[in-house]
Chains A and B, each alone.
Chain A
Amino acid sequence: MNNTFSIKRFKLLFRKTIAERPVQTIGVMALLLVLSLILYVAAKELAGFNAAQNLSFIWGLAGGGFFMASFVFGYFGTNASGSSYLTLPASYLEKWLCGILIAGVLYLIIFLLFYHLMDIAFVEAYHHSLDPSSLSYKQQYDSVYPFDLTGRIAGKVYAMFLMLAGAMFTGALYFNKSAFIKTAIFCCSIFLVLFGLNWLTATMLFGHINDAGLYNHVTLPLGKEEATLLMPASTESLFLTTTLYIIPAVLWLLPLIRLREKEF
């Protein structure tokens, strides 16, 4: 018997994970998609297309990923379910891969497909609602276009998704009870500490400042004007590499080690 990975066992585990808690997996996934739709519609009415696209993409992907990730390893709320999960005859690699596949890959693909179709449908409907004989037709038409899933904003949201989902995968295996809330608090605390330290450092260096973007820029007042100091390219690149690749990689791989080392 292969104790590291068996495709047959993995299929069984995958089927079991989905079917054992359909409400948490399929149900929550469907709910997150519906919420993204509602958010899109509401934001479109209140703040326009651009805000609707950005807001629903951020909350749907990064927020939804965080939420989905809390379920796949969320067996440790009770002694009984935790024991049952850890003693199920499957390797920790299979258990890790199964969780990652559901919340990290499957949800990402389903959300992107849903979001893209929804976005195209709304944009098409808008374009069709315009009067081609109107003088501002071209301007109105060009003001709304489908959200670019390979663009700069999307890239930042993917990074957020990787970071938040990874944090939740790890949190679910470190905090046994109320892992979702504890991880959310932990993430917020880390962000606030980093933001605070960044602001403090900038204030110590430059005195009065208008803004300090986290390891990105500092905005200083210059009379009635303001000037922005960007971080040196090499330092910024180091920061980006860390946040885009190193931290997410650590957060996604840590659960694999944790599953092997976890005592319950």
Chain B
Amino acid sequence: MIEVNNLSFGYKKGKPLYRNLNLHLPIGSIYGLLGKNGAGKSTLLKNFTGLLFPKQGELLVNGFIPKKRLPSFLETIYFIPEEVYVPSLTINSYKKLFAPFYRLFNEERFYGYLNQLDVHDTGKLNTLSFGQQKKFIIAFALACNTKILLLDEPTNGLDIPSKIQFRKLISSVFTDDKMIFISTHQIRDLENLIDNVIIVDNGELLLQASIGEIGRKLSFKTIDNLSDETELLYSEPCLKGHAVVVENKTAQEGQVNLEHLFNAITENPAKAKAIFNTK
């Protein structure tokens, strides 16, 4: 569980990146954190892991204050930054040196995940390509069985088959006693993977909702003529006319297009906040 109450954070005095941010993220979901470049996605993840400290407010992760970086807290989270670090070790040596720090590490699953991601023992890890290194760390992180897994731009550097493997693996290992938190600006990579969406922009939380709630409150459709719709949240021309996002006034739950959702929310923050009751 991640509890954020009135969190403020900024790198420079007087220039806050987040102001009074509130989030309540229970375990048992795959969260997608979406935001533009420089919106503070990585910063938020670093606050969750205790790499950066909030300037104000309260932050609790798994019941711990992250900034204390207690071993019992660090054992419950695994953070994969955008660029991963692998030392000059073989897969086995890495496992021998790093795995004992995580009591729930499962060796059998680790090799299984490596297999699924097509990472094979071919010498030192630092000689692997960036994508392979990233897949190795993802496999290791998943095998650590931490309650919370935080991934910052996990699909950056992965080729198309690897992105598919990554999505499959994440969905197959996810259980209700875990939380996976993925920050990305490559929205399409998260399609059909996440069940909760968080959108941040200009230091503000614009949306925190489940895919189901979004499908109930917004409608993603294609129309012939824009003048048919009065209250557009977003529109873009497409082959069959115009792809639009409007408030869903029916009770029917529709399909969510994450990319359109992101554009709709960031272009109409006030309206979006009102629809989703975002504080």
Contacts of B79 in A (CB 8 A): 83, 87
Cβ proximity bits B264-277 to A, threshold 8 Å, 1 near / 0 not:
00000000000000
Chain B residues with CB under 8 Å of chain A are 46, 49-53, 69-72, 74-75, 77-79, 81-85, 87-89, 93, 97-98, 100-102
Contacts of A84 in B (CB 8 A): 85
- Chain A min CB distance to B54 (Å): 11
Cβ proximity bits A74-98 to B, threshold 8 Å, 1 near / 0 not:
0000111101101111111000000
CA distance A78 to B133 in the complex (A): 15
Q: Is the CB of A87 within 8 A of B51?
A: yes
A15 at the interface (CB under 8 A from B): yes
CA distance A214 to B276 in the complex (A): 69
Among the listed stretches A16-24, A115-123, A129-137, which one makes contact with chain B, having 4 or more residues with CB under 8 Å of it?
Answer: A16-24
Query: With A16-B97, A263-B52 given, is the CB distance from A86 to B69 under 8 Å?
Result: yes
Q: Residue of A at shortest CB range from B82?
A: A79
Query: With A3-B72, A83-B79 given, is the CB distance from A16 to B98 under 8 Å?
Result: yes
Query: With A86-B51, A87-B51 given, is the CB distance from A78 to B97 under 8 Å?
Result: no
Partner of B74, one of A15, A20, A78, A87: A87
A177 at the interface (CB under 8 A from B): no
CA distance A20 to B98 in the complex (A): 9
- Chain B min CB distance to A4 (Å): 9
Contacts of B89 in A (CB 8 A): 19-20
Q: Is the CB of B93 within 8 A of A19?
A: yes
Contacts of B49 in A (CB 8 A): 83, 87
* Count of A-B residue pairs with CB < 8 Å: 74
| 16 other A-B residue contacts (CB within 8 Å) besides A9-B101, A87-B69 | A3-B71, A6-B71, A12-B97, A12-B101, A16-B97, A19-B89, A78-B85, A80-B81, A80-B83, A86-B69, A88-B74, A89-B102, A91-B70, A263-B51, A263-B53, A264-B51
Q: Residue of B at shortest CB range from A6?
A: B71
Cβ proximity bits A194-223 to B, threshold 8 Å, 1 near / 0 not:
000000000000000000000000000000
Q: Residue of B at shortest CB range from A1?
A: B72
Q: Is the CB of B81 within 8 A of A79?
A: yes
Q: Is the CB of A21 within 8 A of B53?
A: no
Q: Is the CB of A79 within 8 A of B72?
A: no
Partner of A92, one of B46, B69, B98, B102: B69
Contacts of A3 in B (CB 8 A): 70-72
Can you list 28 residue pairs at the A/B interface with Cβ under 8 Å? A1-B75, A3-B70, A3-B71, A6-B71, A12-B100, A15-B97, A16-B97, A19-B89, A21-B87, A78-B83, A78-B85, A79-B83, A83-B46, A83-B49, A83-B81, A84-B85, A86-B50, A86-B51, A86-B69, A87-B49, A87-B50, A87-B69, A87-B77, A88-B74, A91-B70, A92-B69, A263-B51, A264-B52
Contacts of A9 in B (CB 8 A): 71, 101
- Chain B min CB distance to A74 (Å): 13
Q: Residue of A at shortest CB range from B74?
A: A89
Q: Is the CB of A20 within 8 A of B75?
A: no
Query: With A91-B71, A264-B51 given, is the CB distance from A81 to B85 under 8 Å?
Result: yes
Q: Residue of B at shortest CB range from A20?
A: B87
CA distance A79 to B82 in the complex (A): 9
Q: Is the CB of A89 within 8 A of B71?
A: yes
CA distance A92 to B69 in the complex (A): 8
Contacts of B81 in A (CB 8 A): 79-80, 83
Contacts of A88 in B (CB 8 A): 74, 98, 101
Contacts of A83 in B (CB 8 A): 46, 49, 51, 79, 81, 85
Q: Is the CB of A90 within 8 A of B101?
A: yes
Q: Residue of A at shortest CB range from B84?
A: A80
CA distance A86 to B51 in the complex (A): 7
CA distance A260 to B79 in the complex (A): 18
Contacts of A91 in B (CB 8 A): 70-71
Please provide the chain A residues from 29 to 68 with a CB less than 8 Å away from any CB of chain B in the complex: none
